[in-house]
Structure 1
């Protein structure tokens, strides 16, 4: 209440099961209409699906992390940060109007986490 409007669109790219076979983690693609501080983290935590490794907005995920297999738990512990990556950034240059575009591949630590989550299925 009292916050500024923020809009996030998201698509499910892949879902990962825990030890009990039920979905425990999901790879999402998020597109922001607005650029608010911690926007993705706040929105996902608000709907009950915080980012893995987010100690501020997702402390309740630690109970869900117990449902991960041992390899996935180890990869999450080794991550030491939020499982969040800006793989694509597109914006319009404020003076020229030129559309600027940057891409960055998934870093090694997140690739290891993704691989561990896949292997546990």
Structure 2
């Protein structure tokens, strides 16, 4: 079965976990438990804020390091999930359900990519 990497994209400075309320954590926990019991979820985690990150760039034969936060970036990867699904349609369905758990006033995106295992 193919594996898919889901990259959760957020506008880091606009997400307020306080406004989500305790019910958000309960809904997310229930969905993650369902995905895991279905045998789909291989690994998942949220990421620490970009003010604790470093970008490493290779350009013109040289490395450069940039410590966060990355103010020029509007959208960042806030988490990921590695899933094994029967096909892309199933992976998209889990992605839809994941996004719908979030508060309506948040802007959260999801990039779904199949792993190249060939």
Q: Does TM, normalized by the shorter one, top 0.5?
A: no
More helix by share: 2
More strand by share: 2
Tell me: higher relative CO, structure 1 or 2? Use CA pairs within 8 A at least 6 residues apart: 2
